[in-house]
Structure 1
Amino acid sequence: MCLFFLLACTKDEMNTFEGAIPFYKEGISNLRSDILDKKDGVQNSLFTFISNVYTDELSQEVIIRILSDDIDLSVGKDLGFMNIYKERVDIYKSNKDYQAALNESLPLSFTLNKDMLYSIGFDKREDSVSFFIREIEADKNVLKEFKRTYSAQKDPYQLLMWGKPFFAVRRGEVKLLDSWITAPFHNPVLSIFGDSFVEGTMLLINGIDRKYRWSSMLTSVLGKERCLIDGKGGEMMSDEFINRFKIENSWYKTKYVILALGTNNYLNVEEYKKYMLQAISILRNNGQIPILLTVTPRKDRDYEPVKLINDWIKSMNIKYIDMHEAVTKENDPTQWRDGYLFYDGIHPTPNGYKAMYEQVLKDLPEIFKEDHLSMSYQNS
């Protein structure tokens, strides 16, 4: 079954919960925008999850009863959310500078009315994201619905959805009945934590299907429910990542965990080592198997840190996938092979990703054992 996680409240006087523990139920508390602290960005009552979440697929749903005639709500993530008014919805997305910007303003086909129940949220998939508002009955039967879907091909920046899931009351009063986020992974055997290479950021913003990522090729064999992909452009080994990693890894504790990070740590190799050792320790203490990736050259950095990181990885007596070998020239390890590198001099093209996937087949054959594959088929 899918794993459920509830949102945690940021107010000091309200309990903060982790995991699948509800923090509001019918009749316990009303949220009034005029008495709650103001926040930067989305103001007033701001309820946010305990961590940034970058799983490839993620859904959020909030159940409320409206208690005032005028209303202004927000729901979503920092770089992808909707502001909800009585008769209108404003949907925001990331711009090219990775800041939240208005995508479009849409009229509602129905009015949000006082004393009515509503379900609001988003449903993000690998190739699309949908925002929804549903007027519902107590048994959650849908009476009216607004739904707006954006595809990766037509509106790629809408799918970035970076940051923390949140729900905010900016004006008016509501009763918050329930809220949660879900991820559609069923007993995954493998987790992949990474940066833009794993997220497929360059594919996404250039309108190229993210199925060409090596991680997507892997999930097509293992089964999407058996492989958790968690990537974010610009991610690096850091204290911030370790804090998030502790939370997200605890949800599933998969047998294998690929730590596909390091490309953004070239300015401080010692910091990479420090935090990678922390991640490895977390996994080993859980009985999980860490798998590292060698890093690749980038045109905006010297080659020395690439060599330092890769030499360190190879000396650690830990399983690793040699992505550097997969994409660089045999006679010049400082250069990518022709056709494997995007125009930015950093990210792989679909051909580069294909070579990376073939390296996974070569260096990690145990993940393709029949027991993993058969379990995938049984759950599909």
Structure 2
Amino acid sequence: MVILVQIQINIVLSILLIVLLVHAYFNMNRKRITNRLFMWIMGLTLLTLILEIFSVILNNSVFNEFMVLHKLVNIIGFIVAPCILFLGYIFTKEWVNRYQQEKIKVNKLLLLPLVINGIVTLMSYNGNGVFRITSENIYERGPLFFISPCASYIYFAYNLYFIYKYRKKFTYSELSMFSLFYIAPAILTSIQLKYSIYLTIWSSTAIIVVLTYIFILNDQAYRDTLSGLQNRLAYEHYAQNINYKKVNKLFMIYIDIDDFKKINDQYGHYEGDEAIKAFATLLVESFPLRQKKLIRLGGDEFLILLEEEQLEKVVDYMDNLTQNVEIYNNSEKKAYGLRFSYGMACYTEAYESLYQLLEYVDQLMYDQKESKKSKL
């Protein structure tokens, strides 16, 4: 009965992770590396929960005949534990890179803690590593036990350092979610290290994995798969829930790529998609402000929402975009150049809704496009 109370949370979370893992397998795009990595993290977390359940059950002299199994269960658990955190680092890196042209390289030195932890864990079979199983089939911490938590805390620390280093590439919600992914388990790991009776490490990790999965599904629902920008659904959600009184000043910029149809007709739809992705990257580089929404409404139409009080700064951002587009065109990466037209206005009480403002900036963009044609 005491054992059941000790592992009941693990059992419940294991069932939940099984359900979510099946859901993820059939509903997530498995061609995307971030999705595959997260499913691996989810699967390995499930494995550690199950291993911990067996470890608690087998930790009894009644099961002395299963001593070898008891050792193997703990060996696999100790080897897998830091692997999850290492995969977490790869997942975070790929998340930041998923729509960027310049990739962040993997720090190969981070493989060293995995190797050291694996070696001392295998030594545990004879009782000389991170744990030992007594003749009564009871688990005890071994002489090298400190190596396993040290490996985990190296990954906790490095992951948080990585997130801080590339914090400008994360939204506020991403920054909070990914930081929580490592901070909460790090704190609860220290509790289990001090009070081994409390199984807090993998139960907390499982809960964070569940929350992260919900976060990923939500992000994908509001994300344009081609450009990596937010989609029309994100705009609709923002427009329906915006409280004008709580927004100090909001600028809307409507952008349309000039002669995009010619790119599709002359170079093919693949190059059309490449042009969309390139222009989206230029938008991300040109608008570093956090209080922004970069949205692809569809086709070659983009919408930018900036919570900025000064018009001068908004103009500076547009100048950045113009300069970055010119630099891209002069790089001669493509046989065609990118050009765009836009309309811009500030959201005031004169507009009944954000939809009305969108109609206005759309007209401004169209007027600018027609003006360019008349000049030609």
Tell me if both proteins adopt one fold, taking TM over 0.5 as the criterion. Answer: no
* Greater per-residue strand proportion: 1
Query: Which one has more relative contact order, counting CA pairs under 8 Å at least 6 apart?
Result: 1
TM-score (norm 1): 0.30
